[in-house]
Structure 1
Amino acid sequence: MPLTLTLTEGVLPLGTEKLAVAQITDAFLKHHGLTGNETMRANITANVHVLPRDATFSGGRNFAGAWVEWKVPSFALAERKVQQGFFAEATSIIHDLSGGVQPKEHIYVNVVHAVDGGWNFNGQAMTNGEIVAEITKG
Structure 2
Amino acid sequence: MPLTLTLTQGVLPDGAEAQAIARITDAFLAAHGLSGNKVMTPNVTAHVNILPKGATFAGGRPVEGAWIETKTPSFALADHAVQERFFTDATEILHELSGRRLPKDRIWANGVHAVDGTWNINGSPMTNAEIGAAVANG
The TM-score, its normalising length taken from structure 1, stands at 0.98
Aligned-pair identity in percent equals 60
Deviates more, 1:18-27 or 1:118-127: 118-127
CA distance in 2, matches of 1:21, 1:38: 18
Alignment RMSD:
0.7
2:6 match? 6
Residue number in structure 2 paired with 1:27: 27
Supply the AA of the counterpart residue of 1:122. N
Please report how far the alpha carbon of residue 53 of structure 1 lies from its aligned counterpart in structure 2 after TM superposition.
0.5
Q: Whole-Å Cα distance in 2 between the matches of residues 119 and 125 of structure 1?
A: 5
C-alpha deviation, 1:93, in angstroms: 0.3
- For 1:86, the aligned partner's letter is F
Matched with 2:101 is 101
Secondary structure at 1:38's aligned position in 2? Answer: coil
* Residues 96-135 of structure 1: per-residue CA shift (max 9 Å, x gap): 0000000101101111100111221221111100001111
**Structure 1: distance between partners of 2:53 and 2:38:** 37
Unaligned runs of 5+ residues in structure 1 are none
1:50-61 → structure 2 map (5 Å cutoff): 50-61=50-61
4+ aligned runs moved over 3 Å, structure 1? none
How much has 1:71 moved relative to structure 2? 0.5
Corresponding pairs, count: 138
With the length of structure 2 as denominator, give the TM-score of the two structures: 0.98
Specify every segment of 5 or more residues in structure 2 that has no aligned partner in the other structure, as ranges: none
